[in-house]
Amino acid sequence: MDDRQAEREGVRLDFLVPGVSKCGTTTLCYLLGEHPEVFIPEIKEPNYFVSEDLAEQRPFYEELFAPAVPGQLLGEGSQLYSAVEFEKLASARLREHNREMKLIFSVRNPLKRIESSYREHHHRGPNYAINAPFGIDAAMTELPALLEDSRYWRRLQNYRRHFRDDQILVIFLEDLQRDPQQVLRQCYEFLGVDSRFVNTVADSTQLNSGEEKLYDTRLLRYLRTHPRTGFKIARLPIPTQDRLFRRLGLRRPFTRPIRWSAEARARVIHTLKADVAEFLAFCGRPADFWTEFA
């Protein structure tokens, strides 16, 4: 580990993948970590830079990077760093940590991001005793972060206040899915590692996909919230709940497209349109890259 990485905190990151959530960051981090000159911890989303007490969490965080070998670039990916609730805190702490750090943001069509986040709220709701709304129209009202986290241009501004534009790379999930090798070469060149490296699993790797997400039926939602049954269900480990209730048909995979009302979809497009236009222009993409927002 070189002197820069050994300063003050012991571990000093060279790059970060701060999100955006539900835009392929899990897959991207996994693929980047396959490069021999790059080290990303196996643990998903350490979220260190939004911890309440950095000093308390530092030993655990540094231990994540213990397996790195000298000369490897150190990085990690945590989607909370670009979430509306934490972006200001995270961006300021990251600049203090390493003002020359490089940042890779992954984005996708905002409508698709919202749909993916909606599925995630249903899938992970039982972990936090959260009942995600049935229907995406209701979710857009009750879960404002679905929309706010999709304002990519606004989310990026906190990082642009702390880091130069040449320290920021934006990739598009659509590109990663279509030509992963080309996107990875772009990332390698940005990070300054050997861009000739070919990731042999890139073309067949897609992690954390929407087909893996589950939702409660209305009957299971009723049982979770009923005083006589809710506490009994809550005692079961989440993996056990998933296996049991999926077998009983009470917890099901998202096999059908998300259904929007025409009004809700049009409202989201209208709300995000200006943000999308500025963001695409910054990234050098045509205004009709995401046709719904053209």
Per-residue model confidence as pLDDT tens digits over 2-52: 333 334 457 999 999 998 999 999 999 999 999 999 999 988 899 999 999
Instruction: Tell me the C-alpha distance between 129 and 116, whole Å.
Output: 20
Parallel, antiparallel or unpaired: strands 251-253 and 214-216: antiparallel
Q: The pTM is what?
A: 0.90
The pLDDT tens digits of the residues spanning 145-185 come to: 999 999 999 999 999 999 999 999 999 999 999 999 999 99
Q: Provide DSSP, 255-280.
A: -SPPPPPHHHHHHHHHHHHHHHHHHH
Assigned CATH topology for domain 3-211+258-293: Rossmann fold (3.40.50)
Instruction: Tell me the C-alpha distance between 148 and 208, whole Å.
Output: 22
Could you give the 3-state DSSP secondary structure of residue 58?
helix
Write the DSSP symbol of residue 33.
T
Ranges of CATH 3.40.50.300 domains, the chain: 3-211+258-293
Q: CA triplet 252, 82, 91: central angle to 5 degrees?
A: 155
